[in-house]
Amino acid sequence: MDLSTKQQEMHLKARAIRVATVAAAHAEDVDKAGRFPREAIEEMKAVKLMGIMIPEELGGEGLSTSEIAEVCTIIGQACASSAMIFAMPDQGFEPRLARP
């Protein structure tokens, strides 16, 4: 069964909110200790957000920049460090794919 576009958007947002909830629970400690937000990153992996930037033909979800930005915004409202790490792979990813 294929999900409608609206259902896909709602599912993506729910995944982002789940990560944001975990990120928020650890944000103060992440900031104070200056540590890696491992709990949020592990949750990103668990809900499969780390592959949304990868093109479908390479096994990812191939989501648009606006969809990725929405996820990043939701996570960033909970923990800026987590959102920054989430957004990093998108920086210059496509040019690396184009190289032989």
pLDDT tens-digit readout, 75-88: 999 999 999 999 88
Contacts with 80 (C-beta within 8 Å, 6 or more apart), sequence order:
27
Decide if pLDDT at 90 tops 90. no
Mean pLDDT of 58-82: 94
Q: What CATH number does the domain containing 81 carry?
A: 1.10.540.10
The model's pTM is 0.82
pLDDT tens-digit readout, 31-45: 999 999 999 999 999
Q: What is the pLDDT of residue 5?
A: 77
Instruction: Residue 60: give the domain boundaries.
Output: 5-98
**Separation of alpha carbons 75 and 82, rounded Å:** 7
3 pLDDT band, cuts 50/70/90, is: low
- Total count of domains within the chain: 1
